[in-house]
Amino acid sequence: MNAVKTAFLMALMMGLFLLIGYLLGGNTGLTIALVFSIIMNFGSFWFSDKIVLAIYRAKQVNRETAPKFYDMVERLAKQANLPMPKVYLINDPTPNAFATGRSPKKAAVAATTGILQGLSNDELAGVMAHELAHVKHRDTLIGTIAATLVGSISYIAHMAGWIFMFGRGDDDSPGAGIGGLVLLILSPILAMLLQMAISRSREFAADRGGAEISGGPLALASALQKISRGNQLKPVNHSEPASAHMFIVNPLRGGGISKLFSTHPPTEERIKRLNAMAR
């Protein structure tokens, strides 16, 4: 099923680039967009994890540089019957974490320095087990490709604004101005719906999987509460809307009606389910 979702995302990315190419340059733009979309799909499959880690300036650590944290991840990976992932730290005081990689053998987990300092050992184990559950469920490839796609949609929305203002009127690109307006309106909505569809259901599954791996649903529930509070006070540095769905808790501030369109399910509901699991 995840292979089907991945293929769908990559096809969607290609379709969007072909559309914007046609609107910008007619048949010539369509050809250029086809080449560009092939490059984007290739890059998103092989390098999207490295791109996301680079955005947040994550540094790889090992047993010598972060022994306690590295040993914890290694122990949890064994409990989950997973290969040892690469381990990264993000120098940021706000607590949060995410997993990435195109397969369990190529997986990486990343955590902020703030989460290591702000959580107890059991809470931190619950969080990292949650991320390993994403790896085990093979969510990470979909998540990183989706991040690339959402970033591309944001770029398309920007280009659509220019199309609308300076839409070509020649025969090779008919209706460019109107098409640009449609893209300008629909692109952010599409990006939001895509993130919601990708993220919301898989977070519940990863919470359950993480609680089973770590053996501490209450510790994970407590961690979620602390992380949510911390990110509301101060978002993670360099937070990008395109990759927000990858974190265990949304790293962007949100309130009012924006909560209805959050990339994550409500933290209160996640905590409620974990408490019920403990009972």
pLDDT in tens, the chain (279 residues): 555 655 666 666 667 667 666 666 667 767 776 776 666 666 666 666 788 899 899 999 999 999 999 999 999 999 999 999 999 999 999 999 999 988 899 999 999 999 999 999 999 999 999 999 999 988 877 766 666 666 666 666 666 566 556 555 444 444 555 555 666 566 666 666 665 556 667 899 999 999 999 999 999 999 999 999 999 888 888 766 767 778 999 887 654 434 444 568 889 999 999 999 998
Burial of 218 (0-12, 13-18, 19+ CB in 10 A): middle
Answer yes or no: 212 catalytic: no
* Torsion angle, alpha carbons of 93, 131, 192, 239, to 10: 20
Task: Sketch the domain layout of the chain as residue ranges.
Answer: 2-278
Taking the whole predicted model, whether its pTM rises above 0.85 is answered as: no
Q: Are 128 and 111 in contact (CB under 8 A)?
A: yes
Catalytic residue from among 123, 131, 212, 268: 131
